[in-house]
Structure 1
Amino acid sequence: MRRMRGLAVRGAVLAAVAAGVVPARAEGTAGAQESVGAPGTAVAVAEADLSYHGFAVLHGGRADVRLTPRNHGPGDVPDATVRLRWSVPLAAGAQRLPAGCARTGRQEVVCGTGALPADGPGEEIALRVRLRGRPAEMTMDVDTVWGGGAVDRNRSNDRQRVLVLDTGDAYFF
């Protein structure tokens, strides 16, 4: 039951991102938890620090990406959404994407991370996309679109850009 509820929440988030409606991020200035909302309706907001590490490979017009989300804490994150954006458009037509991922534009895909415990890694996300043509190189941007409602004061480690050459070699980030 809990797994089904998580999938439903992740599906709603991915649908909102695909429709261009991105949930607002809570921003604050102090403490591991804060209260936000209308007067008299305070809601506790956890603080977290998301990051992504992995590698990308470009070979023959295909980009293979494996990344592991990590939450450095101090609070748990029930789910988050990571965006992958390539400098080269994705090939036209359907892309085979793993469950929890959706194409949201000419050059981007978003994926739900699932639950991210404080001070722990999440499940690895692995995907392969076909790019338009056979580019000799590309850049790939990785960033958080939605942090599960948590405040993330260190946004520098969840935004990365990696240059990947068509060598078949893994480029780590």
Structure 2
Amino acid sequence: MANIPDLSLPETAPSVARYRDQPSELLPAALYTLVDLPDDELRELQRICETGCIDTGSSPGDSVRIAPQPHFVGQPLRAVFDSHLQLADLHDNQYDPTYFIVAIEQNWRDRGVLLVALDDDDLECKVDSCRFKAEDSGLNVANLQISNMGWSELKENEPVDRSQSDADDENEGDGAGIYDDDAIDEEGNDSG
């Protein structure tokens, strides 16, 4: 199993509560990486993350956009969290302040990406995260933004199928069994 970075996050993000009173805009989710991805691969990841949105008529960069400072190689997810809060303040109305996407493994095509939510369904600013296939992540953010799905419903219905065994991982590129429940918990933490 690849070395998974520290994916711990604070329980709450009270500073995002102020964004609830702002007019609702469909802002792009910021894209970050905790692993060493060359810029061309990061652009490819952005393209893949936006696939579902482009298919429904969005333009490139409207749904997922590489953050101004996207590389956090060797750092914990908390560093991305802190940077994202600053990004929301500094780049007002350019990035979604509540959701962001992070590549946490080199093999993001097969292992997916982490979608982080800074405000839960109960509007208590609870922080949560869940792994999704990269190609689903942008559309998942859009569905959350337009309240087509709530965070709890999305986590329940949309994460990649982790019920398959590691033996299924050998079926390269089929999308089945890309997670092993014994090795990666619901929040994407390496428990093995």
Structure 1 length normalisation: TM-score?
Answer: 0.29
* Higher share in helix: 2
* Higher share in strand: 1
Q: Which structure exhibits the higher relative contact order, with contacts defined as CA atoms closer than 8 Å and separated by 6 or more residues? A: 1
In terms of Rg, which structure is larger?
Answer: 1
